[in-house]
Structure 1
Amino acid sequence: MYRALWELLRPYRFTLLFALILQAIAGLCSLIPLIAISQVANTSVHQYYEWVVIASIGGVSWLICQTFALYLTHQTDNHLCHQLRLQLLDKVEKLPLSHFAQHGRDGFLQIADRDVRSLHQLTAHAPADITKLIIVPITATLILLWQNALLTIFCLIPLITSFFLFKQMRSIRYQALYTSRNRTMSALYEQYAELADNPLQARQYPNQSIQKKTSQALYQFEIAFKRWISKIGALSSLTQVGISSTLLSLWVIFGVSLLSEPVPLAQIILFILLISSIAAPVAAMGHGADALNLAVSASERIRQLLAEPGMHYGEKAITPSQGELKLVQVDVKIGNNPILSNINITVAPNEFIAIVGTSGAGKSTLIQLMARFLDPTEGNVLFNSVPLPLLSLTSLNRTVSIVMQSTPPLPCSVRENLQLFAPNSTEDDMYRYLGELNLLSLVKQQPKGLDAVIEQDIVLSGGEAQRLAIARALLSPAPLLLLDEPTSALDPRNAQRVLNLLHSEPRTCVFVTHDLNGLNLADRILLLDNGKLIAQGSHQQLSIHSEPYQQLLRALEENCA
């Protein structure tokens, strides 16, 4: 696990080493004012100015060295987090969609946001804290041993006791409590995020669905936290008491009273000040250890994600043209779960194909395979007899245009949205498709027209955003159009317009749908069930010969009634 940490920090090792040296000097200098203060008690009023000067020099040196050390560690933290986010951005562009299906949105969010931020304590503060923990206690202890060995041993008893209590808290015996607390806290974060993303559903079904899951997650966290506190709380309190300045000061005075020989006032003051200076970095390591453990776990998750194989593209370039799309003995698994099994499909040029099936049948996964958003576990996907992995990314984007079910527009102008895959498209081309999709009047109402910025000058409804995405796909030169539920957010009239437009286009179109009009227009229908292609044919053929298709039609008709 610490190897992952070293891999992340290795490029910054010299900067961190210099920061450690500065912090070590700062730790030594921090003791000088304490020693000087204690010596004032032995000095006459007219002679203590020398110690004031020494204390001032030590204090200023301490502040300068510590400031520069923290500056270097915080700069390292900034550079590290920036580089990690760039690497993660590059990685997320190459990961197949199956990764997100397996880990969910919060899986990547955990790493890209919370895990990267968890490294702050590790890089910005831990080097200084650890150096201070080593240098200050050892140096202060040596000074005290030189002054009075017996009193030093007695004064270290509370600190040693607190150290062993701290070790007990971190023992394997209590690790399950920490794991349970962290796991339930993470689950609670995820549920709160889902609740925030779906306020309407939470309001519509109070104490059910999302709200119920959030309440259960909160209850589980409360149980885990109470169990953790009940076991750890007493040990933690005793540890804090053992290193408190009040107890340590009283303990020094108590130790002095037990000694047979008198102890000078300057020595008593020195012991009180230095014992507290020993305890301070130890106290800081309490929560620091928690943060350090989180950072170590975070670094391992970041390393694993960066090591995951991404999707690699070939160098083969092809000119966008009509061609045959073929899936040969395709299987798709996410983890150990089969999503698609033994899929064999040939899509002819200019064919208009609908994909239907119940929820979870694998329809969206099949569309994503055709667009090469993920690769099959087994089998091949070919366009014009060329396996898709051999195509360059540019060629793939020129060959395939896809519209997913959720298609929020980019926060830029309407023109830039439409020209994303067709930078050379003319205004006439854009106006044509906007008119066909019943968006032209909306755009022309805007003072800026095509240059109206979405979310600033113009706000689109869900159906309008979906039609804009379809217009963008139609403007692209891609001969293969893939659409996932292209009419899901549309009223019947606009849905029919979209289907008629797609059907009239001189290119291959494959779309997932539950729209009866789309099924009637389709040249061929692919019926999926539990990841298997169980029937294919025209609407008329399947209506007569396929019982599962007949059942699906009855369900669709009931929903439309």
Structure 2
Amino acid sequence: MAVTDQTSEVVDAKTKRAQETEMLAQMLRPVRARLWLGRILGGVAGVVSLAPYIALVHLGDVLVRAALDGTAPDEASVYSAIGLVLGGAGLQMLLTFTALLITHFADVELTRTLRTRIVERIAGVRLSWFSATSSGRIRKAVQDDTKTLHNLVAHAPVESAMAIVTPLALLVYAFVIDWRLGLLAFASVPVYLLVQMWTMRGMGEKTAEMDSKLTEVSATAVEFADGIAVIKAFGRTGRAHSRYADAASAFSTFYMGWVGPMLRASAIGEALVSVPVLIVLNVSVGAALVSSTEVSPADVIVTTLIALVLPNTIQVIGRTMWSYQIAGSSAKRLGDLLATPTMGTDSGARPGTLSASGAAAEAPAISFEDVSYSYTGAAQALSGVSLEVPTGTVTALIGPSGSGKSTLAVLAARFMDPDSGRVLVNGRDVRTFGTAELYSRVAFVLQNPQLLRLSLRENIRLARPEAEDAEIWAAAEKAFIAEEIRALPEGLDTVWGEGTRLSGGQEQRIAIARAILADAPILVLDEATAATDPDSEDEIQRALSVLVHGRTVLVIAHRAESVIGADQVVLMRAGRIDTILDHPDEDELRRLMDDHGSAATDHLGEFSAAGTEGHTNDD
């Protein structure tokens, strides 16, 4: 059984590696021409690097000849050798600088393009995707993976080309000097190469497996950090961090089992090409050849220097291969992220029934047609639900916890799509809307206001970035939060979460101001006062009175009394609609809740008091 599992893991790793290679090639395609230009210039720079060695041999011959003759060295020959060294080094630096400049600009362009595409893609995905995807994985793709491509794009093309061309050119030159010195310079390389090849066997599959385990470690670490306050408050630190500890332990075991033997073999290979070994080998044999007057001391010095350069070639190529392995995994994650379905791109969506004029034929604001939905790994949340929310009315969803009321409401805002059935907004399937178009029609205010680490101005005008300050203040006035904002030292420029903290009620009213400014005709309201203190509740109710007036409202109610005065009250139980009441009075609503043992009834606050006066079915 263990052998079968291990074989399966190897096959999966090979498949993943093939996908990573293909994805990396696709991702680098826009900058491929510039990368090849960088490689070519790097290769030319590698050939030019021969100049100092040629000059050194020439200079050695001049100096030795002068010493043997007992005369001064030929000044012109010395200056020409020095000029060749300086000219060759200067040209090599210029070519290398130009090549790296080209590849770095290619890296900047690729990073900018990728991050722009990622932001655009994430902005268009369904909101439920963020719940199903851990923040650690998103952060790794957006931040780390784009950085990982930097070394591969900006450095690897030039450095690998130079690492290959330079030693090959030097080796050819060593054989030109003397074939025996050439063989001597190259003697230790085959052994070192064989050791390196042995240590790097299965590198692609192992790297893919390592990347998967590292991703799990990163994801579990972020999840643990996000919930640390609650974990410590309830004294569950040991159990809560077990997922992270298990992931880290699995990675450690895998990594040590892979790298341990590889490091021991690599150490042996490094010893074979260490500087002392190469110098002793080349100088001792070279000295014998000099003694027999078959080569000059300068020849031995130059070929010894060449011998010291050759092993670095394999090391650079190895690092480049490693960069490709890591970059392949990053490219795969980026590709998967960029392939995430966005709103408005789902197939199979039917727009709805249209009249001859092209408008929805007397369509209600929201329609649920035989909708079913289940969360991953959970029981059915909704089963065959059909409901209409007429335009200009208030429909309240009530029921015990887990009855499906919140799931049904957020389907209208397309936080997720139903497994079967359709959700229509103004007679049109929500899956045919783009993000901007849908949220210009549907706004929502949730129990927990979601503010960003931006200025209060930017938080309020999130749905309308072009809104002027006058419009923002008007929305804040209607949400009864303007006075508190003006009292802050920086007013609208106050950055939420940096130094200044707001109460839950204030944050909720900022969220309401945002919805007022958005001015969407349909509002999904998850009872905004459920998580606030009594002092804040009255102000929030006043702000809601402005927000819901004149709009179609679908409210998720956690207390029966908070929806008295609604046009339609829908009682849900176990993912199905149990009862629908039109314009129920207070007694009828209380009786309904008592019969089904649902929400508490100790707080009175009529929905009509929240501002629905004058808001009827005839609006």
Separation in 2, partners of 1:540, 1:484: 20
Aligned counterpart in structure 2 of residue 535 of structure 1, from 578, 590, 595: 578
* Unaligned ranges ≥5, structure 2: 1-19, 67-72, 346-350, 582-588, 603-619
Call closer, same or farther: CA 1:60–1:414 in 2, change over 3 Å.
Answer: closer
SS in 2 for 1:42: helix
Which letter maps to 1:412? S
Separation in 2, partners of 1:30, 1:510: 74
1:122-167 Cα deviation digits (max 9, x unpaired): 1111101221232122212222233333443354342222222222
Separation in 2, partners of 1:456, 1:222: 37
Call closer, same or farther: CA 1:383–1:157 in 2, change over 3 Å.
Answer: same
Separation in 1, partners of 2:316, 2:92: 18
- Equivalent residue runs for 1:96-495 within 5 Å: 96-172=126-202, 177-204=206-233, 205=235, 207-253=237-283, 255-256=285-286, 263-312=295-344, 323-332=364-373, 340-349=382-391, 350-354=393-397, 356=399, 358=401, 364-391=406-433, 395-404=437-446, 405-409=448-452, 411-414=454-457, 417=460, 420-421=463-464, 423=467, 429-430=474-475, 432-435=477-480, 439-446=481-488, 454=496, 459-484=501-526, 486-495=528-537
Shift of 1:81: 0.3
- Equivalent residue runs for 1:539-558 within 5 Å: 539-540=589-590, 542-546=592-596, 550=597, 553=599
Call closer, same or farther: CA 1:146–1:451 in 2, change over 3 Å.
Answer: closer
Shift of 1:104: 2.3
Shift of 1:193: 3.0
Moved more, 324-333 or 264-273: 324-333
Separation in 2, partners of 1:75, 1:242: 39
Q: Does 1:33 align with 2:52?
A: yes
Separation in 1, partners of 2:288, 2:420: 80
Call closer, same or farther: CA 1:239–1:194 in 2, change over 3 Å.
Answer: farther
Question: 1:466·1:489 contact (CA, 8 Å) conserved in 2?
Answer: no
Call closer, same or farther: CA 1:225–1:484 in 2, change over 3 Å.
Answer: farther
Moved more, 390-399 or 472-481: 390-399
Shift of 1:468: 1.2
Separation in 1, partners of 2:460, 2:363: 25
SS in 1 for 2:62: coil
Shift of 1:245: 3.0
Name the residue aligned to 1:20: 39
Shift of 1:469: 0.2
Call closer, same or farther: CA 1:91–1:147 in 2, change over 3 Å.
Answer: same
Question: 2:137·2:219 contact (CA, 8 Å) conserved in 1?
Answer: no
Which letter maps to 2:524? L
Call closer, same or farther: CA 1:202–1:336 in 2, change over 3 Å.
Answer: closer
SS in 1 for 2:344: coil
**RMSD across aligned C-alpha pairs, in angstroms?**
3.8
Question: 2:505·2:540 contact (CA, 8 Å) conserved in 1?
Answer: no
Question: 1:102·1:334 contact (CA, 8 Å) conserved in 2?
Answer: no
Answer with 1 or 2: which has the greater Rg.
2
Call closer, same or farther: CA 1:515–1:143 in 2, change over 3 Å.
Answer: farther
SS in 1 for 2:134: helix
Shift of 1:362: 5.7
Which letter maps to 1:183? S
Moved more, 61-70 or 177-186: 177-186
SS in 2 for 1:164: helix
Name the residue aligned to 2:24: 5
Question: 2:572·2:579 contact (CA, 8 Å) conserved in 1?
Answer: yes
Which letter maps to 1:354? L
Shift of 1:109: 2.1
Question: 1:527·1:534 contact (CA, 8 Å) conserved in 2?
Answer: yes
Separation in 2, partners of 1:191, 1:392: 33
Which letter maps to 1:35? I
Moved more, 18-27 or 38-47: 38-47
Which letter maps to 1:289? M
Identity within the alignment, %? 22
Question: 2:457·2:493 contact (CA, 8 Å) conserved in 1?
Answer: yes
Question: 2:509·2:543 contact (CA, 8 Å) conserved in 1?
Answer: no
Which letter maps to 1:324? A
Question: 2:560·2:590 contact (CA, 8 Å) conserved in 1?
Answer: no
Which letter maps to 1:25? V
1:344-403 Cα deviation digits (max 9, x unpaired): 2322341231355546x7655433320134433432111232223445655533321112
Separation in 2, partners of 1:418, 1:78: 31
Name the residue aligned to 2:101: 71
Question: 1:483·1:511 contact (CA, 8 Å) conserved in 2?
Answer: yes
Shift of 1:222: 3.1
Separation in 2, partners of 1:466, 1:206: 30
Q: Does 1:59 align with 2:89?
A: yes
Question: 2:451·2:496 contact (CA, 8 Å) conserved in 1?
Answer: no
Name the residue aligned to 1:524: 569
* Unaligned ranges ≥5, structure 1: none
Shift of 1:414: 4.3
Moved more, 457-466 or 285-294: 457-466
Call closer, same or farther: CA 1:289–1:366 in 2, change over 3 Å.
Answer: farther
Moved more, 405-414 or 87-96: 405-414
Separation in 1, partners of 2:521, 2:454: 27
Which letter maps to 1:293? Q
Call closer, same or farther: CA 1:309–1:207 in 2, change over 3 Å.
Answer: closer
Which letter maps to 1:543? M
Which letter maps to 2:478? Y
Which letter maps to 1:191? T
Number of residue pairs aligned between Structure 1 and Structure 2: 544
SS in 1 for 2:524: strand
